[in-house]
Structure 1
Amino acid sequence: MDRLQPNDADKDGRSNVTNATANSAELSTLPSTDVSGSNGETKHGLESTSDPQPLTYEDVAKTKMFSRVFRYIYLARLEFFLFLYVFSRSMAGTPIGDLLLQKACLNNLQCNASVCQGMDHYPDIKDAAEKIASNYSMFRIIIAFGPSVVIAVFLGPWCDKYGYKPPLHISNIGYIIGTVFVLVTAYMMPLPLYYDVLAAIPDGLSGGIISVFMAVYSEATVQTKGSQRRTKFHPSVCRRWASFGSCLYWQYLKG
């Protein structure tokens, strides 16, 4: 019998399979290429990986000029908040001290309004009023900072787990409530001085300035690189802000 010969179709099929196998082997030996997507994600072949990283100042420098300003403001949001917070507290502290002095003269020393307004001409009355006002001011500081010290011990780990925004909101709400109480006592001057001391309770129970600094420092440490630590949070800088607020208030009184 004659030996069967393969037809042309079978030959073409086998050659196509051989060529496909060779092409796939060549493709497997080629190095993988990375393709960057429009959203900044890197795609390796058919797979894509995205690892969100916190926004840094280098990332902002690569953006367009129109949005760069807003991005810098977003990055410095903690600095702006801390500046406004310290500035407002420093401006409020000076008039509160003057309020305590006036109420000590009116209520404790039983002097009339004209004498209390011109205490510089009555050194003995001024010295006695300053001693009374200093004692009540010390009581306010103890009430405002005593609970805050205890809260700050547990606030750092809490911020690492749940974030820094709730402590900031709670501290500001407590400070606003305490300021409203002080305004009420300023409107009703015959109220005793211990009402002004009680007005510091909301600020102390809500964390006060210690909780604010703890939350801000914790967030700055976690969200920034070692070379980008916010040196603006140094206490000496904050003291300059506080002194600037006090000087501004005294200039307002002189004007």
Structure 2
Amino acid sequence: MDERTKELSWHHYVNIRQLRVEPFVLLYMIGYSLSAMAVSQLVQDKLCRVDYEQSSTFCISINSADFDHGGETIKSNIIKDATYITLYRTLLSTLPCIVWALFLGPWSDNYVNGRKYIMIV
């Protein structure tokens, strides 16, 4: 291997030992993604049964690959509405955290025990 190829090697720039995922964050994200799928399915089922007044067999088979009930427009409307509700749910749960981080982060840096108080809350 010549000097030019040795310089372009990614091993030279990235130290694999420094790349770590904390187990807590990994487990949290796995749990969050599993609950997000369940909540999304629940929203879709409730929209199908309550708002669109469809039968339970229609609502159960709406996500299957062999969906053939002739209600493609109803299916697309249900999925569209479920996506909007999931989007609003995500926004409503994210915006307070952003505001919290913007104001309480600098505040905790100015006080000696500021981070301890935030961790308690």
Between the aligned residues of both structures, percent identity stands at 25
Please list, as runs of the form range in 1=range in 2, the aligned pairs for 1:94-113 lying within 5 A after superposition. 94-113=37-56
Structure 1 unmatched runs, 5+: 1-75, 171-255
Q: CA deviation at 1:86?
A: 1.6
Partner of 1:152: 101
Shift, 1:163, TM fit: 2.7
Q: CA deviation at 1:98?
A: 1.1
Q: What is aligned with 2:68?
A: 121
Name the TM-score, length of structure 1 as normaliser. Answer: 0.32
1:149 offset after TM fit, Å?
1.4
Aligned to 1:89: 32
What does 1:70-85 align with in structure 2 at a 5 Å threshold? 79-85=22-28
Q: Distance in 1 between matches of 2:51 and 2:77?
A: 10
Mapped to 1, the partners of 2:50 and 2:101 lie a distance apart of 36
The residue number in structure 1 matching 2:90 is 141
Q: Alpha carbons of 1:164 and 1:89: their partners in 2 closer, same or farther (altered >3 Å)?
A: farther
Please give the secondary structure, in 2, of the residue aligned with 1:103.
helix
- Residue by residue over 1:176-204, the C-alpha shift from the partner in whole angstroms, topping out at 9 and shown as x without a partner, is xxxxxxxxxxxxxxxxxxxxxxxxxxxxx
Q: 1:145 to 1:92 in 2, by over 3 A?
A: same
Structure 1 residues 157 and 142 mapped into 2: Cα distance closer, same or farther (>3 Å)?
Answer: same
Q: CA deviation at 1:158?
A: 4.2
1:141-195 per-residue CA deviation (whole Å, 9 max, x = no partner) reads: 121112121111023234444336844x75xxxxxxxxxxxxxxxxxxxxxxxxx
RMSD over aligned CA atoms reads: 2.6
Task: Name the count of aligned residue pairs.
Answer: 93
Q: Secondary structure at the match of 1:118?
A: helix
Unaligned runs of 5+ in 2: 1-19
* Counterpart code for 1:124: T
Q: Cα–Cα, structure 1 residues 93 and 165, in superposed 2: closer, same or farther, change >3 Å?
A: farther
Q: Report 1 or 2 for greater relative contact order, CA contacts < 8 Å, sequence distance ≥ 6.
A: 1
Alignment of 1:199-238 (within 5 A): none
1:159 and 1:94, CA in 2 relative to 1: closer, same or farther beyond 3 A?
farther
Query: What amino acid sits opposite 1:130 in the alignment?
Result: I
- The residue matched to 1:110 in structure 2 has which SS? coil
Aligned to 2:115: 163
